[in-house]
Structure 1
Amino acid sequence: MRKLAYYVAVTLDGYIAGPDGQYDFFPFGGEEAAAILADFPETMPTPAREPLGIADRAAQRFDTVIMGRATYDPGLKAGSPARTPTSSSTSSPVRSSAPIRR
């Protein structure tokens, strides 16, 4: 049987995003960023991997990402919802004709 790991950024009130869907209040820098990039490189969106110097880093812990529409849609709008080398799934149907990279 496979292990299930739950990895999420969440606020003290239990939400993953702000009231209007914003997520810019989560810090990403310094020691926190270094630890995330070292231990969880596969959690970074595909377009961010090269600028962060982790384009060639293999997945360390995760091989599948399950996310809600509010998490998936911003990446889709930016042109790259998928995280590489993982597969991505949403909790509801995707409402776009844009191709999904697998």
Structure 2
Amino acid sequence: MRELIYYVATSLDGFIAAPDGTWGAFADEGDHMAVLFDEYADMLPGHVRAALGINADPTLVDTVIMGWNTYTPALDAGIDSPYPHLRQIVASRSRVSTSPDVAVTADPVATVRDLRREGEGGIYLAGGGALAGTLIDEIDRLILKLNPVVLGEGMPLFGGAPYADRRFRPTRTRTFDSGVVIAEYVRADV
């Protein structure tokens, strides 16, 4: 069955962005970047892949699901298909996509469950935190880029998720001179 993979940068105190939605406090240079560009290239937007000369077919995921607020910066930059190498789905109850390459769903949980029954590639949960909170019980794998910063407030890693004891077990942790830690987990009951 296909995995839903939440791959996201986060602060030490569990925020994926500042209160205004920016993530400038997170390290975008350093020795961890080579790993991001190599092992997680599937999760890079198309314009970043092009700038880096990454043309390889996706190997880890073949679909991306994101919230409207995650999709908006691409639209603001004139990019209506930010992940052209992946099947793209945006979760929104009120918006519609103008791109034939981007589907919109009002029910991300049902959509993820349907996606699990087809194909073999993973599903990349690109964000944001509110969507991750909605999909928390569907997430099979976490790949957290822990940045050595405490924000104090901002957009939570799992916004609006109801309380429950959800266990994940660590599978791999790598620490870099940049201070970033890439920590991977799988759902403990999987």
Which consecutive aligned stretches of 4+ in structure 1 deviate over 6 angstroms post-superposition?
none
**Which residue pairs with 1:82 in the alignment?**
82
| TM-score (norm: length of structure 2) | 0.47
Structure 2 distance, partners of 1:76, 1:27, is 24
Residue type of the alignment partner of 2:22: Q
Structure 1 distance, partners of 2:47, 2:33, is 16
Structure 1 distance, partners of 2:100, 2:75, is 9
Unmatched segments (≥5 aa) in structure 1:
none
Structure 2 distance, partners of 1:86, 1:100, is 13
Structure with bigger gyration radius: 2
Matched, 1:58 2:46: no
- Structure 2 matches for 1:1-80, cutoff 5 A? 1-54=1-54, 56-80=55-79
Percent of matched pairs sharing the same residue: 38
Structure 2 distance, partners of 1:96, 1:82, is 16
Residue type of the alignment partner of 1:53: G
Q: Deviations over 1:59-82 (max 9, x none)?
A: 121111111222111011112242
| TM-score (norm: length of structure 1) | 0.80
Local SS of the residue matching 1:30 = coil
Structure 1 distance, partners of 2:74, 2:66, is 11
Structure 2 distance, partners of 1:48, 1:94, is 29
Local SS of the residue matching 1:85 = coil
Unmatched segments (≥5 aa) in structure 2:
103-190
Do the aligned partners of 1:69 and 1:90 also contact (CA within 8 Å) in 2?
A: yes
Higher relative contact order, chain-length normalized (CA < 8 Å, sep 6+): 2
Q: Number of aligned residue pairs: give it.
A: 101
